[in-house]
A and B are shown apart, each in its own frame.
Chain A
Amino acid sequence: MENKEPLSPHIQIYRWHISSLVSISHRITGIINIIAITLICLWASLLLLGESNYIMINSFLSSLIGKFIILGFTWSFSFQVLSEIRHFIMDLGYGFELKTTKISGLLVIFGSIILTVVFYLIGKNFI
Chain B
Amino acid sequence: MINATKKWIFLKISGAILVPLMLWFILNLITIYDQEYVNVVNFFTNSLSKFLFSIFIIVAYFFSALSISEVFEDYIMNDKIKNAANRLLYASAVAIPSITIILISSL
Enumerate chain B residues within 8 angstroms of A2, measured Cβ to Cβ.
77-79
The answer for the CA separation of A51 and B68 in the assembled complex, in Å, is 36
A-B contact pairs, 26 of them (CB 8 A): A3-B77, A3-B82, A8-B75, A34-B61, A40-B57, A41-B99, A44-B53, A44-B103, A45-B99, A47-B44, A54-B40, A58-B34, A58-B36, A58-B37, A61-B34, A66-B34, A70-B29, A73-B29, A74-B26, A74-B29, A77-B25, A84-B15, A122-B27, A123-B30, A123-B31, A124-B31
Q: A2-B79, A77-B26 are in contact. Are A37 and B34 (CB under 8 A)?
A: no
List 4 additional A-B contacts (Cβ < 8 Å) besides A48-B107, A70-B30.
A34-B64, A47-B37, A123-B29, A123-B30
Q: Is the C-beta of B12 less than 8 angstroms from some C-beta in chain A?
A: yes
Nearest 10 interchain pairs by C-beta: A123-B30, A41-B100, A8-B74, A34-B64, A51-B37, A45-B103, A54-B37, A62-B34, A123-B31, A77-B26
Q: Is the C-beta of A103 less than 8 angstroms from some C-beta in chain B?
A: no
Q: Say whether chain A's binding surface is mostly helix, strand, loop, or mixed.
A: helix
The answer for the CA separation of A124 and B75 in the assembled complex, in Å, is 41
Using CB atoms and an 8 Å cutoff, list the residues of chain B in contact with chain A: 12, 15-16, 18-19, 22-23, 25-31, 33-34, 36-38, 40-41, 44, 53, 57, 60-61, 64, 67-68, 71, 74-75, 77-80, 82, 96-97, 99-100, 103-104, 106-107
The contact string, 1 if C-beta is below 8 Å from chain B, for chain A 47-62, is 1100100110010011
Closest to A52 in B: B37
Whether B99 contacts A67 by the Cβ 8 Å rule is: no
Using CB atoms and an 8 Å cutoff, list the residues of chain A in contact with chain B: 1-3, 7-8, 27, 30-31, 33-34, 37-38, 40-41, 44-45, 47-48, 51, 54-55, 58, 61-62, 66-67, 70, 73-74, 77-78, 80-81, 84-85, 87-88, 91, 119-120, 122-124
Whether A78 contacts B26 by the Cβ 8 Å rule is: yes
* From B19, B28, B31, B82, contact of A85 by CB (8 A): B19
Q: How far is the CB of A66 from chain B (nearest CB, A)?
A: 7
Q: How far is the CB of B97 from chain A (nearest CB, A)?
A: 7
